[in-house]
Amino acid sequence: MPRLTSSNELTPVATAASPLLRIRNVAKSFGRSVVLRDVSLDVAEGEFLTILGESGSGKTTLLRIIAGFENATSGAVWMADQRLDSLPPYKRRVNTVFQNYALFPHLTVEQNVAYGLRVARRPEKEVSSRVEEALARVKMTAHAKAKPSKISGGQQQRVALARALVNRPQLLLLDEPLSALDANLRRQMQVELKSLQREVGISFVFVTHDQEEAMVMSDRIALLRTGELEQVATPQEIYRRPATAYTAQFIGHTNLLHSEVRGGIVRCSSLCWKAQLPDGPALFSLRPENIGIVASAAPVTDGSVRVRGRVRHHAFHGATELLQVECADGLVFSVRTASRADNQSAVELDFHPADAIVVRESVDRT
């Protein structure tokens, strides 16, 4: 990345094509432990991007580097055409919604929301009208005079959101903001948050460990594993075409099939099907919902793969059931089905080779 020296290069080029935030080769170590290895990521204007990862994947560290609470060991962060990582956090046009909201306990809801405007010394008239507007947006006007300790978790969440958005940041960072809420409120807030983001049109970088939450809310998901990005794609794409075995397993359930390709024929235990792939080992991801249960007498439709097995375990999930089916050669399939199947019953499984997606083996970095 070239350093910006001439004034020419500093002129902002606000085209739709140029991303708002550019993260380039960011690495971070704390002493001997490496938290981020080499992360490069773009966030577009108005985009809802989710950084998804397990605990310890480095997602919060990445967010803290963008906010300015941590310095990257190497690499750079750019916002529009400005180097962001040389600025202290209070000079970045980035605001954060913290995991535990971090509301100031000695200030009222109203004073909390006004904080950013007051320290920027905005005229008092403007402060009160913007605070009022922000509180109305998150439906907290009625609690304006309350102290944070007197309102519920969901309400604190809304105040934290208003406190960040009132400053009209270019980018809003959200660090697992919903993880402290109970399941119902959480789902409700997911919808609210998403529509709020559409309304204000600000780019959101949302950190979560919950893949379902990521799927529901994001324009794009950046899946982080042990300090490296595993895949960055839309929820649909990341689900339908996972790039690696880890992605396939982390986002939804899947069956991983270790196979061998020879002469356009894939062999996995006793199963085989045709595929245009080079010779050698191959790993396939097959979603449980892409496996059907058919009557053994049913004719084989073109190209589909059949295998006989026995139900070893079944879990009721409401609309569907998740079965563990063991085949004769020891292969176990997870199968999602709408119909009931009893334990130990013999079933005939059927899937289409096109639904088996080739994925890369995820390298062990620990």
Partner 1 sequence: MFSRAYRAAVTVPPLIWVTVFLLVPYLLMFFYSFWSVSGSQAIIHSWNFENYRELLTIDVYWQTLLRSMWIAARVMLFSLLLGYPLAYFLSFYAGNRKDLFYQLVIIPLWVSYLVRAYAWKTILGSDGVLNTLLEYVHLTKHPLDFLLYSPFAVVLTLTHIYTPFTFLPIYASLEHIPRNLVEASHDLGASPLQTFWRVVFPLSIPGVLAGATFAFVLSLGDFLAPLLLGGPSGIMLSNIVVSLFGAAYNWPLGAAISLCMLVLVVSLLFVSERLEKKWSFS
Pairing of strands 203-208, 291-294: unpaired
The answer to the question of residue 89 lying near partner 1 (CB under 8 A) is yes
Amino acid letter, 289: E
Q: Which of 24, 147, 168, 187 binds partner 1 (CB under 8 A)?
A: 147
Residue 71 in tokens: 């310095």
Q: Considering Cα of 86, then 91, then 92, then 94, what sign does the dihedral take?
A: positive
Alpha-carbon distance of 161 to 193, in angstroms, equals 9
Q: Which residues contact 305 (CB under 8 A, 6 or more apart)?
A: 271, 272, 273, 350, 351, 352, 353
# residues contacting partner 1 (CB under 8 A): 27
Nearer to partner 1 by Cβ, of 102 and 322: the residue is 102
Q: For residues 59 and 314, which CB has a smaller minimum distance to partner 1 in the complex?
A: 59
The residue (of 67 and 214) whose beta carbon lies closer to partner 1 is 67
CB of 19 to partner 1, least distance (A): 22
Beta carbon nearer to partner 1, 18 or 179: 179
CB of 160 to partner 1, least distance (A): 9
User: For partner 1, which residue of 119, 298, 315, 354 counts as binding (CB under 8 A)?
Assistant: 119
Contacts for 312 with CB less than 8 Å, ≥ 6 apart: 324, 325, 326, 332, 343, 344
Site for partner 1, residues 28 to 67, rule: CB under 8 A: 67
Q: Which stretch binds partner 1 (CB under 8 A): 89-97, 128-136, 151-159, 222-230?
A: 89-97
Cα end-to-end span (Å), the chain: 29
**Three-class SS state of 195:** helix
64 or 220: whose CB is closer to partner 1?
Answer: 64
- Is 91 or 365 the residue whose CB approaches partner 1 more closely? 91
CB 116 within 8 A of CB 163: yes
3-state secondary structure of 286: strand
Greatest CA span in the chain, whole angstroms?
79
Interior angle at CA 304, CA 299 and CA 306, nearest 5: 70
Residues 6 or more apart in contact with residue 219 via CB below 8 angstroms: 47, 48, 49, 234
- Per-residue binder mask for partner 1 (CB under 8 A), 98-117, x = binder: xxx-xxxxx--------xx-
Distance CA(220)–CA(235), nearest Å, equals 6
Shortest Cβ 10–partner 1 spacing (Å): 22
As measured in angstroms, the least distance from the Cβ of 67 to partner 1 is 6
Min. distance of Cβ 89 from partner 1 in angstroms? 4
Among 28, 163, 220, 225, which residue sits at the site for partner 1 (rule: CB under 8 A)?
163
Binding partner 1 by CB under 8 A: which of 57, 60, 61, 96? 96
Interface with partner 1 in residues 174-213 (CB under 8 A): none
Nearer to partner 1, 148 or 235 (CB): 148
Give Cα 198 distance to the centre of its chain.
Answer: 18
Question: Contact with partner 1 (CB under 8 A): which of 50, 61, 95, 244?
Answer: 95
Work out whether 90 is an interface residue with partner 1 (CB under 8 A): yes
Structure tokens at 177: 């903001």
Q: For residues 61 and 223, what is the distance between their CA atoms, to the nearest angstrom?
A: 14
Q: What binding mask, one character per residue, do residues 61-80 give for partner 1 by CB under 8 A, x or -?
A: ------xxx-----------
Q: Which is nearer to partner 1, 116 or 288 (CB)?
A: 116
- In the complex, what is the shortest distance from the CB of residue 88 to partner 1, in angstroms, rounded to a whole number? 7
Smallest separation, CB 51 to partner 1 (Å) = 17
d(CA 169, CA 53): 25
* Residues forming the site for partner 1 (CB under 8 A): 67-69, 88-91, 94-96, 98-100, 102-106, 115-116, 119-120, 147, 149, 163-164, 167
